[in-house]
Amino acid sequence: MNKRFLALTILMLMALLGACAQPAATPTAAPTAAPTAAPTPAPQPITITLWHAWTGAEETALKEILDNFMAEYPNITVNPLQVPFDQLQ
């Protein structure tokens, strides 16, 4: 009985260790030629309307953030539209 238990324990440990092993690495073929880059299309101008309910200092900060954003991304125009909170739906 002890030999069976020992054999079963060893078999289970081998299966456990085998399951934890990394799979064999398969060699990959080296690329034959460098891939050519597809031409990037020219960005088209876009206009976004941003609805918000901020007033006062928050609205001033938003306008400053949007000015910085539009300076970094000149093809994107963001029009902030202040809508009172009660009218947002």
Domain ranges, ordered by start, for the chain: 44-89
Chain length of the chain:
89
CA atoms within 13 Å, Cβ hemisphere of 46? 9
Q: Are 88 and 54 a contacting pair, CB within 8 Å?
A: no
pLDDT digits (tens, 9 = 90+) for 24-67: 777 777 667 666 777 777 789 999 999 998 889 999 999 999 99
> For residue 89, what pLDDT band results from cuts at 50, 70 and 90?
low
- Asked if 55 contacts 85 with a C-beta cutoff of 8 angstroms, the reply is no
- Predicted TM-score (pTM) above 0.75: no
